Amino acid sequence: MTINVALAGAGAFGVKHLDAIRTIPDVEVVSVVGRDYGKTKDVADKYGIAHVATDLAESLKISDVDAVILCTPTQMHASQALACLDAGKHVQVEIPLCDKLADGEAVVRRQQETGLVAMCGHTRRFNPSHQWVRRRIVAGEFNVLQMDVQTYFFRRTNINALGQPRSWTDHLLWHHAAHTVDLFAYQAMSPIVKANAIQGPIHPTLGIAMDMSIQLQAASGAICTLSLSFNNDGPLGTFFRYIGDTGTYIARYDDLFTGKDEKIDVSTVDVSMNGIELQDREFFAAIREGREPNASVAQVLPCYQVLHRLEQQLAA
């Protein structure tokens, strides 16, 4: 059976999902949604997608659509996820699930009421480098004592990952910190019980903090230090150092090294080295198998509870 998909948001991340889905058997994107009809049609034509819309509601009315992937602005994620579930569609919403905790909680409730698959794009759970570490943890061969994470970009203007102007403003706390907050609890296999944050000056035009520092502690005793910046002029990206009881591992994108800078081969960890593809494969597999996916909205909700507490602390 082919799973028919509608993709909302044909920007930088939407295209990554379109490329990933091309590699997955028996999945077809039949509709693409974007604010700018002309640009969205260009993407649709490139990928051979017949239906183009500027309103998600139009795609949700297509009876053949089984599932939706949301790559839209953060502020729309929760309301659009609810709309998909209300329309009887399985949904994968790109990270973050929400930028207000109450909205994320509403999505989890609706998923539980409908029984549909609802998943959030916490890609770090699927990257082969982090999967390799996870397997050692699950096998009892490695326990996380500390994680040191740097998330660095150079975005002093409102641009996306392709360097194109954005119609919305990204956020260090609700988007970029969400990756690490969730991954830390996932890899520590223990809930976060303490969280602290400080932030730098608010940007006069963008209205957000451009620098932030977060400290976390899990119930296991493990700690995490996360540094985030939109002011960093290279190297760019997110870099993870795992310090544990039997070793140290450093993840740089999809590459993994020991603490002595010895490269670890992670090419055979999964069927692909592409975290987005692996994330999408999990979404479609959960639909076919009628099960909860890894990174379900219920599983990642504790991350947003922590972000909510940090936001309140920063506001105070």
Alpha-carbon distance of 304 to 201, in angstroms, equals: 23
Nearest CA among 85, 81, 115, 117 for reference residue 98:
81
For 253-273, write each residue's pLDDT tens digit: 889 999 999 999 999 999 999
Cite the residue boundaries of each domain of the chain with CATH code 3.30.360.10.
127-269
Nearest CA among 229, 227, 19, 256 for reference residue 127:
256
Alpha-carbon distance of 106 to 3, in angstroms, equals: 26
pLDDT of residue 164: 63
How many CA atoms, within 13 angstroms, populate the side-chain half-sphere of residue 54?
Answer: 5
pLDDT-derived band at 161 (thresholds 50, 70, 90) equals low
Tell me what the mean pLDDT of segment 19-37 comes to: 97
Tell me what the mean pLDDT of segment 5-10 comes to: 97
Tell me what the mean pLDDT of segment 111-136 comes to: 98
Does residue 166 surpass a pLDDT of 70? no
pLDDT-derived band at 170 (thresholds 50, 70, 90) equals confident
Please give the torsion angle defined by the CA atoms of residues 274, 276, 278 and 281, in that order, rounded to the nearest 10 degrees.
-140
pLDDT of residue 206: 83
Does residue 73 surpass a pLDDT of 70? yes
Give, in degrees to the nearest 5, the angle at Cα 306 between 301 and 312: 125
Higher pLDDT, 194 or 158: 194
Which DSSP letter does residue 231 get? B
Tell me what the mean pLDDT of segment 128-140 comes to: 98
Tell me what the mean pLDDT of segment 140-146 comes to: 98
pLDDT-derived band at 281 (thresholds 50, 70, 90) equals very high
What's the helix, strand, coil split of the chain in %, to 5?
35, 30, 35
pLDDT-derived band at 110 (thresholds 50, 70, 90) equals very high
Quote the longest CA-to-CA distance of the chain: 55
Tell me what the mean pLDDT of segment 280-292 comes to: 98
Buried b (16+ CB within 10 A) or exposed e, 157-169: ebeeeeeeeeeee
Does residue 28 surpass a pLDDT of 60? yes
- CB count in 10 Å sphere of residue 220: 15
pLDDT of residue 315: 93
Please give the torsion angle defined by the CA atoms of residues 112, 118, 124 and 126, in that order, rounded to the nearest 10 degrees.
110
Alpha-carbon distance of 60 to 198, in angstroms, equals: 41
Length of the chain in residues, anyone? 316
Alpha-carbon distance of 4 to 74, in angstroms, equals: 24
The letter for the amino acid at 54 is T
CA 37 to chain centroid, in Å, comes to: 26
The superfamily (CATH) of domain 3-121+276-293 is: NAD(P)-binding Rossmann-like Domain (3.40.50.720)
Does residue 143 surpass a pLDDT of 70? yes
Alpha-carbon distance of 299 to 293, in angstroms, equals: 9
Alpha-carbon distance of 237 to 163, in angstroms, equals: 14
Which DSSP letter does residue 173 get? I
**Residues in Cβ contact with 88 at an 8 Å cutoff, skipping those fewer than 6 apart:** 114, 116
Cite the residue boundaries of each domain of the chain with CATH code 3.40.50.720.
3-121+276-293
Does residue 100 surpass a pLDDT of 70? yes
The letter for the amino acid at 298 is A
- The pLDDT > 70 percentage for the chain reads 96
**Residues in Cβ contact with 15 at an 8 Å cutoff, skipping those fewer than 6 apart:** 43
Higher pLDDT, 158 or 86: 86
For 195-218, write each residue's pLDDT tens digit: 999 999 998 888 888 999 999 999
- CB count in 10 Å sphere of residue 58: 14
Alpha-carbon distance of 68 to 21, in angstroms, equals: 12
Tell which CATH classification among 3.40.80.10, 1.10.3720.10, 1.10.1040.10, 3.30.360.10 matches the domain 127-269.
3.30.360.10
pLDDT of residue 176: 93
pLDDT-derived band at 66 (thresholds 50, 70, 90) equals very high
pLDDT of residue 177: 97
pLDDT of residue 160: 56
